[in-house]
Chains A and B, each alone.
Chain A
Amino acid sequence: MSNELIQTNTAKLTAAFATALVIADSQIHDELAYNSIKEWDSTAHMLLIAELENTFDVMLDTDDIIDMSSVGKAKTILAKYGVAF
């Protein structure tokens, strides 16, 4: 997997989180967790899932939606769908 593709996917992931949660790029790091900030509540989580599915053209299983508890975990889950980070 090329570094360029990984950088592009990381940038896309950051943009998806920023759009869905309406937060700054600088707030987005692997340790950022669900419900750790007021912007990432259950409603925003569903918008985030929609944004990630749209961005990476995937359809996430319900178990993966439930398990997506942090930015780092999102990368791990998306990797299962062929998105490299």
Chain B
Amino acid sequence: MSEQAPVSLITGASRGIGRAAAQALAKAGHELILVARDAAALQQVQTDCQALGALVSIHTVDLTDRDAVTALFRQLQAQLQHKALSHLVHCAGQMQDALLAMTRLTDLDKMLALNVGATVQLCQLASKLMLRHKAGHLVLLSSKVAESGSAGQAVYAATKGAISSLVKSLAKELGPSGIRVNAVAPGFIETDLTAHYSEDKRQQLTTQISLRRLGQADEVAQVIEFLCSDKARYITGHILAVDGGFSL
């Protein structure tokens, strides 16, 4: 591993898009700091990424615990020493499908806490580390439904809409300090979040997708890897759809 390897912090790294992003960035030569709640699954991702040659540390953290997130960054500050945090790839999120009248306010609070609150706190703490080097990159996960809306997903869509707004505001605020801010907006990706969808629902959704198939986590991860590469050095404030034409 080169001393110059970019250091990437990935949340939600134990499964789905986060796990795929970890593997993609490991292949691309990044040093990884992986965060998730599921310790056993996280250790497996660590092993997989180490097999790809990456230096990997893991941290079991509930991102809705504000004090725990602050403690994580205090630990990272000591761990990184004079190394720069190059990328934050924030994949952790919660999707709870429910029609408006059937949305419990406790579920609203949970989705706001993780999808919005934790995102703001992570951006705040990560950007402070990045400001030390006047360089860095935040990659957030929005969603196709942030723009288009989705019946039965009003609250989830609203939280993802907040992410899109956050990306554009932070890109303007942090750009002068050398920090880029982007998001990917996945469509229907086969992950644990969508595993409960019935076959009928999958087929119905597939007919609305231009490429006529559901997406895979690694197809989103490849785009994240691109955004984290030098090829994307002039891209900021962008929400990049990865949805097979679902949003057309």
The interface of chain A, by Cβ under 8 A from chain B, is: 43, 46-47, 49-51, 53-54, 57, 59, 62
Contacts and interface: CB of A to CB of B under 8 A. Distances in A.
B77 A47 contact: no
B176 A49 contact: no
A54 B74 CA distance: 12
B128 A47 contact: no
A57 B131 contact: no
Contacts of B233: none
A51 B177 CA distance: 13
Nearest to A46: B131
A50 B134 CA distance: 9
Contacts of B132: 50-51, 53-54
5 contacts: A43-B176, A47-B177, A50-B128, A54-B132, A57-B77
Given A47-B131, A47-B177, 14 more contacts: A43-B177, A46-B128, A46-B131, A50-B128, A50-B131, A53-B77, A53-B128, A53-B132, A54-B132, A57-B77, A59-B70, A59-B73, A59-B74, A59-B77
Contacts of A50: 128-129, 131-132
A76 to B, nearest CB: 20
Interface string B147-186: 0000000000000000000000000000011000000000
Interface in B110-154: 124, 128-129, 131-132, 134
Q: Is the interface of A mostly helix, strand, loop or mixed?
A: helix
Contacts of A47: 131, 134, 177
B75 to A, nearest CB: 10
Residue from B70, B124, B131, B132 with most neighbouring chain A CB atoms (10 Å): B131
Interface string B84-96: 0000000000000
Interface string B57-95: 000000000000010011001000000000000000000
Nearest to B82: A54
A47 B133 CA distance: 9
Contacts of B74: 59
Contacts of A43: 176-177
Contacts of B70: 59
A49 B129 CA distance: 10
